[in-house]
Amino acid sequence: MVDSPCTYKGKERRHGCEFADAAADSAVRKTFNILGVDVDDPQQVERFRVSLRFGDKLSKFADKGFFASASILAVFMATLFGLGILSLVADKLRLLKWW
């Protein structure tokens, strides 16, 4: 059996590994650094979280706005179609002098 600084419990279940933890911390720090957030500054992290929440809210409002715009357009087109049919029928009635 190979001696390792990581302790394993059961088949392939890591109980604790300082190397894996360090690698994960480094990856998270690099990712947030690319995004312009210093993970050691709680204010920057909180601003980032608020920004993400705002983006989510904005996305939801945009989705609702798109649905509302599509609905209004559909009603408008249906109204125009109905008025067109009504106009054709009214012209036919005038030609037959029923109106």
| Number of independent structural domains in the chain | 1
Burial readout 32-69 (b: 16 or more C-beta within 10 A, e: otherwise): beeeebeeeeeeeeeebeeeeeeeeeeeeeeeeeeeee
Query: Per mean pLDDT, which range of 3-12, 19-28, 31-40 is the poorest?
Result: 3-12
Report if pTM > 0.85. no
92 within a domain of the structure (yes/no): no
Over range 10-18, report the average pLDDT.
64
69 within a domain of the structure (yes/no): no
Q: What is the domain range of residue 3?
A: 1-36
The model's confidence at residue 85, banded by pLDDT at 50, 70 and 90, is: confident
Over range 67-93, report the average pLDDT.
85
